[in-house]
Structure 1
Amino acid sequence: MKEKVSGMSRGNVIAADAMPYPLDNHAPQAVGYHALLGQLWDGWSVARLKDLFGEPRETMAGLRCWEVGAGVGGQFAVWLAGRVGRDGFVLATDRQVRDIPALANLAVVEHDLTGDREYPGWPGGFDLIHVRLVLQYLPQRRRILSRLADRLAPGGWLLVEDWVTTPAVEMVVSSVSEQDAALYVRVQQALSNVFAEAGTDHSWGGQVYPALLAEDLTTVGTQMCGQVWPAGGPGCRLVAGTIAQARDRLRAAGITVKELDRVGELLTRDDPGFALAGHLMHSTSGCRPPG
């Protein structure tokens, strides 16, 4: 392909500015964390794309896609690259790109959505921009959403997937021990506070629908997915990985090492008797009007 993403060619890696966020793509837990995110949500995101485009192998060939917040390994960006084919193109961006394979139709770029640097573009715009579990963590989320919508091609789709976080007091749906349940609630509340202090909006997923309407997108719609996460499954192990990365901040909030270790055990052991109400995923899409 002779075209280039504006301002950057394939293979370019541009350094991103630092930002206060509790998780780090270069942390030891990051590889497992992003793999678990894929286990939980890739199938759901694929189903949503089928809603928009039909069977991906038949209808996504040749599309120009931007995977925003591709994460460690870039699993979903790689999946997209396999669907758009030789005539399509996928741009994968994140503040910290890591371990994303080199493919002929996939460009990997470090890009900070919160900075003032120009956003990536494509001649004519992108046919699909997918951003999952990113905007809720960024205080500038509304401005960023507008800038993403501006990068759509006529007829292009913006698909935003973010949680509405289950309140800590409602998360434990099964526990043999009331003491363990109470401990988890206390740790989860402290964890929610850690993210809130870094700018997370725990209700953002429910605000995307009117935000896309305000960007003059059409055919706006939201589908929601909720799950119970049993101990030892990917949802609980994801929470355990989050707690592990935020361990120092949780200690500063008054959670003891013994308490953190106990919660880690509750979440990761194979015990369906302990289960959490997972956060409710809001998957909201909107289309740039043709022409």
Structure 2
Amino acid sequence: MSSREDETLAQAAVAALTGQLDLAPKPGLPDPRDLGVLAGRRDHCSLRWSAKALAPGLAAMAAAARRTGEPTPQLRAELGAIGRSTEHSVGLAGGGHKGALWALGFLVAAAALLPRAGARDVAAAAKKLAAFNDKGAPRRPSRGSTISAKYGAAGARGEARAGFPHVRRALDALTTARSAGATEAEARLDALLTVMSTLQDTELLYTAGPLGLRHVQAGARGVLESGGTATRAGRDALTALDADLHERGWSPRGSAGLLAGALFLDSLPVAAMTGAV
């Protein structure tokens, strides 16, 4: 691939992330409604602004993968170094998106390795990349890894090493909802709820504990079992869940990042997606 194609992959990933941010209502997550609330204005606007700061790092990850040509320990180390540098840049731009950066980074690099592959093959290549240890990673455990160890949750690393199963489930949910006549926004919300219904979100485990996590998972399943967001009953259940999570201050950020990964894979050329999921 050329450098222009690396930039295209990076911009597609950023568009997927901002597309996730534009959805509403997202239970417990920042969305455009925050623009009308003074307390939330900075949060949502800064997330949209800082999302753009991911583009140079993601393009560099794609270029590194294209140059290397296959999943190797050396490429994994280079992706880790680029990712940490990008985290710093995003922090200067307003912060956020740490989980999304790593998910999108692996997927962008995998898409650069396999430019004509479908979503399933891209996820499989990302799995191979994630299987290597990042020797340059800080020795000090992150909050996510500490919570993963405490509760036995897969966390972001486990999700990547498993080949992004929740990203693939979100893609399936998108296809199902679209086939049933849902609008694009409804399909994406159903995909988010599908991830929320089963993901062991380390952010939720940190803020709400295992009981809180199960509460959120049950709430997401309740929306889907009511018919999804395209139905009146499902929409009512979504509104109730949204109010509940905002009142509790619980935010399923891990699910949001994985939805962005699904939207990125969904944006790959249609010809490459045939039979992918």
Q: TM-score, normalised by structure 2?
A: 0.29
More helix per residue: 2
Structure with the higher fraction of residues in strand conformation: 1
- Choose 1 or 2 for highest CA Rg: 1
TM-score (structure 1 length as normaliser): 0.28
